[in-house]
Chains A and B, each alone.
Chain A
């Protein structure tokens, strides 16, 4: 896999995972995972359910605490204190499988929430920025809608805009399309693709193999809390070195 040059390989990686370990009781979710994410890369984490991909993502912005190893972001280890971590989280956007929009706020207020509460921005400017972001994700006409009056795909696009509002340096996507109706998956993936084209650094946990194949610069295969294989999508999808990767992909009906 060293034969391939990665994007921005000459610069320090944006994220460095160094022997990351995480346990839930007796269950080892992450068993010494080491991985780099370079600036501007789209890294897709794939693998069977329960293999640790989502856990790694949630450790990245400290929604979960580590039991061992270290994660560095922009050349600094993640801080240990909450106030310091809050500042780091503002530079990391996260999109959840279940959207997690705030149901008591309109689409516009959801996107503006971080700006008004965390950044203490005035409502007028925050709403202007939120409107621009909702326009970007194709929801200019839905600013006044409450989440209850939006489809799943629309809700997830609002969630992406909400994360973008904080102007993050990296976007973390935790199975962003898994909870969607098939007909709305495409609209979310196309927003994500636009982001990737703009050069956003993205770490994406996904079961959308065609998205990983087409958009990712780097694909990482997880199994049982360990990194089974990593490489550019051509290698992972066309010539995987690990037998288990082949099995996993064929289970998903992927045949190159």
Chain B
């Protein structure tokens, strides 16, 4: 078997444009998932009973439905129901965010509830309000404790962006498929893509782990 990487050399800009979109989608999805997930976690922990019920149903649903299905549903079904059409990028961002935020919410909830009651009482004892305790005592410690889990979520989110290929978002995987179809060089192209994903995600998860070992004591009460 002989290898021919010339299609890659000739079309690297095409693939690089896909990589850029993958990075953009990853960053926006991670940020949006964390913001939305934090809101869901706080709603589930401290919200009124009806809201808790809604949020539990949402979290359970997202854990039971593949992200692929969520994405396809948002892109193909939502426009028919609502009459509103998402651009592929926005559909992908929305789908991934809705899905990943459910996991983020569970991680944050677990982090907050893992902090011992004494910390809350120490805050109360100096006259702090519940919201001050949440902001100044619980959340900072919970975030530190949850760093390893957040690292996993970030890597899963980046990987999930490849699914956006099915709704024609011209990200890395989609560009690779196009290129492979044109050049009849799937081995070279998909191997390259695999390596690219690895080179993005591996350092990210390692950096998060490194960072965690340095700051772990800040979350140990």
Chain A proximity mask over B138-164: 1 for CB below 8 Å, otherwise 0: 001100100000000000000000000
Are A104 and B127 also in contact (CB < 8 A) when A98-B118, A148-B217 are? no
Q: Is the CB of B127 within 8 A of A103?
A: no
**Which residues of B have CB within 8 Å of A146?**
217-218
Question: Does A96 count as interface, using CB distance less than 8 angstroms?
Answer: yes
Number of A-B contacts (CB under 8 A): 79
Count A-side interface residues using an 8 Å CB cutoff.
29
The residue among B118, B122, B144 with the most chain A CB atoms within 10 A of its own CB is B122
Who on chain B is nearest to A88 by CB? B127
**A63: interface (CB < 8 Å):** yes
Report the separation of the CA atoms of residues A98 and B218 in the bound assembly, to the nearest whole angstrom: 17
B136 within 8 A of A: yes
Known: A98-B118, A117-B136, A146-B218. A104 touches B141 (CB 8 A): yes
Tell me, rounded to whole Å, the shortest Cβ–Cβ distance linking A112 to chain B: 11
Contacts A103-B217, A103-B221: A166 and B127 contacting too (C-beta < 8 A)? yes
Distance, CA A94 to CA B125, complexed state (A): 6
Cβ of B124 within 8 Å of any chain A Cβ, yes or no, is yes
Inter-chain contact A148/B119, CB cutoff 8 Å: no
Q: Are A104 and B126 in contact (CB under 8 A)?
A: no
Q: Hey, which chain A residues are within 8 Å of B7, CB to CB?
A: none
- Docked-complex contact B119 and A100, CB < 8 angstroms: yes
CA distance A115 to B141 in the complex (A): 20
In the complex, what residue of chain A is closest to B115 when comparing beta carbons?
A103
Contacts of B6 in A (CB 8 A): none
Does the CB pair B137–A90 fall under 8 Å? Answer: no
Distance from A72 Cβ to chain B, minimum over Cβ atoms (Å): 19
Q: How far is the CA of A101 from the CA of B118 in the complex (A)?
A: 9
Do B140 and A104 touch across chains, with their CB atoms under 8 A apart?
yes
Is the C-beta of A142 less than 8 angstroms from some C-beta in chain B? no
Task: Find out whether the CB atom of B122 lies under 8 angstroms from the CB atom of A100.
Answer: yes
Q: Which residues of B are at the interface with A, using a C-beta cutoff of 8 A?
A: 118-119, 121-122, 124-130, 132, 136-137, 140-141, 144, 217-221
Q: Which 8 A-B pairs have the closest CB atoms?
A: A114-B126, A100-B122, A90-B127, A148-B217, A94-B125, A104-B218, A100-B118, A118-B127
Which residues does A use to contact B, with CB under 8 Å?
A: 61, 63, 82-83, 86-87, 89-90, 92-94, 96, 98, 100-104, 113-114, 117-118, 146, 148, 159, 162-163, 165-166
